[in-house]
Amino acid sequence: MTTTEPTDTLATELGKLPLFTQPLPTSAAPVARHLHEVPSLGAAVPSSAVEMDWALVATLRAQASHRLSTAVATGHSRLAGPAQQELGRAIVLDLLESTVAERVNDGAPTLTPAEQEATARAVFDALFRLGRLQPLVDDDRVENIIITGHDHVLLELTDGTLLEGPAVADSDDELIDFLVFLASRSEVNARGFSEAQPRLHLRLDGGSRLAAAAWVTPRPSVVIRRHRLMQITLDDLVDRDMLTPVAASFLRAAVRARKSIVVSGSQGAGKTTLVRALCAEIDPLEAIGTFETEYELHLHEMPERHRIVHPWEARPGSGERGLDGRQAGEFTLDEALVDSFRFNLSRQIVGEVRGKEIWAMIKAMESGTGSISTTHATDAIAALRKLVTCAMEAGSHVTHDLATSKLAATIDLIVHLDMTTSAVEDSPKRHRRVAEIVAVDPGERDTGYAATHVFTTGSDGTAVPSVLPDRYRALAANGFDLAGFLNQQEARR
């Protein structure tokens, strides 16, 4: 067999070659199985049951990468991604066969069947997937992977539990090298990562979000957010004790009544998850535009829930800056929003607001109704102050009064999420709750806005009824449980 021949299936390749040159109590079938599927990890802390020889994995990965590059350069340049992966599988198996044969001929200890399976999978993951991170991403229980150095890994599970994770590289330098490779080879949105560009924000090919920093931190820092709660609803969040049924009915009615909403909270508080749940209340036939620095909402991947979605993703530039101060290839949220006005959108949803992209959110809210955005803040009022600061970052022409008046005129509601960490049976666990819902109106001279706590923080941290402005009583026509709100409001007095 030659590794430059394209293959239809891995099974065909396995039928062509004996895996061993001498009879041994093993076969290639398990290797093929594990190259096609990576099972969820069953241990309390995700880890491999086999002691991996990562030096061997690195060697085989380098050899396989060279062979694959040579094959593509000498006649297979038209191979699509799946075809290249099939070819890569055959190359990995061929290299593994040669390694086992050499060890047998030299009288050295050979690899057990389990070690062969794990090695083949690890080499393939390093070539085409996320390397040693892949088993963690594949585990459906893992929602966040937090890395502060190659051997300091913390896993946050979907139920909020925090666990120690396995090392994801043999050294910090190896981790950085892999991140550089990962950023450059992305098929969906390749980005640079180097000493000149020490920060990385990347949407991984599987849909996860990766943020990384190196060279400007003592050790490489990485956070991978795996979006597990995609088909989420407000009722689902009620079941998770994230908010009360009355609060859910209020938010449901607000979305249906096309109120413009900002969701605030700390990092990892569940803002994106709540926005997906709010969007689930939008009529399936409404045309939605989403504007994000990296795709996180993924509404365009839910055709049964949202029939018409036009998703825009910003793109950083590269190379020298031109006379206009922009790098080649740069595409901003502002540009995306301008383009979107030709798409007959019913709603424009700006994802996370961290800086001057606030003007994209303001334009969206001024151009139509029912917009939704997110931002980081410690509470609802702080979110409004933070958005004013973000707006002023656009330049000296944006005064505090202008920014405040614009925001007060366009935002209807701020929904604030709170996250706490507590010890449950000696294991840390995070709890996320809707803590406040504030109505915003133009008004007071000193602040430039009037804020009314429709729901305030209760004794357990969950939002409870407080003061209902008269104009929000009309939401009862859209499903708001007005009677339940008034009953709970009276019970608190």
Torsion of CA 229, 301, 222, 144, to 10 degrees: 10
> Cα Rg for the chain, rounded, in angstroms?
26
Q: Tokens at residue 79, please?
A: 């191979």
Q: Report the candidate in 168, 47, 33, 136 with the shortest Cα–Cα distance to residue 93.
A: 33
pLDDT of residue 172: 95
What CATH architecture is 234-317+330-492?
A: 3-Layer(aba) Sandwich (3.40)
Beta strands in 3-67 (DSSP E): none
Candidates 3.30.70.1380, 3.20.20.150, 3.40.50.620, 3.30.450.90; CATH matching 110-228: 3.30.450.90
pLDDT of residue 212: 94
- pTM for this predicted structure: 0.70
Do the domains spanning 110-228 and 234-317+330-492 agree at the CATH topology level? no
Q: Tokens at residue 21, please?
A: 């040159």
pLDDT of residue 267: 83
488: CB partners within 8 A, 6+ apart? 246, 464, 465
Q: How many CB atoms lie under 10 A from the CB of residue 361?
A: 30
The rounded distance, in Å, linking the Cα atoms of 23 and 219 is 47
Q: Would you kindly state where each structural domain of the chain is located, as residue ranges?
A: 110-228, 234-317+330-492
pLDDT of residue 213: 95
| Cα 451 from chain centroid (whole Å) | 32
**Which residue do the tokens 């991604």 mark?**
81
CB 343 within 8 A of CB 379: no
Q: What is the pLDDT of residues 286-339, one digit of tens each?
A: 999 999 888 888 899 899 999 999 999 888 776 677 776 677 778 888 888 888
The rounded distance, in Å, linking the Cα atoms of 231 and 241 is 17
CB 198 within 8 A of CB 214: yes
265: CB partners within 8 A, 6+ apart? 271, 374, 376, 377, 416, 417, 418, 419
Low-confidence ranges of the chain (pLDDT < 70): 1-50, 75-81, 186-190, 205-206, 318-319, 324-325, 368, 424-427, 444-445
The sheet carrying 347-350 orders its strands as 308-313, 287-292, 347-350
Q: What are phi and psi of 459, to 5 degrees?
A: -65, -30
The rounded distance, in Å, linking the Cα atoms of 59 and 26 is 23
Supply the DSSP string of 395-437, one letter for each residue. -TTS-HHHHHHHHHHH--EEEEEEEEEEEETTEEEEEEEEEEE
315: helix, strand or coil: strand
The rounded distance, in Å, linking the Cα atoms of 405 and 401 is 6
Beta strands in 90-235 (DSSP E): 142-148, 153-157, 162-165, 199-203, 209-213, 221-225
**DSSP secondary structure code for residue 376 in this structure:** E
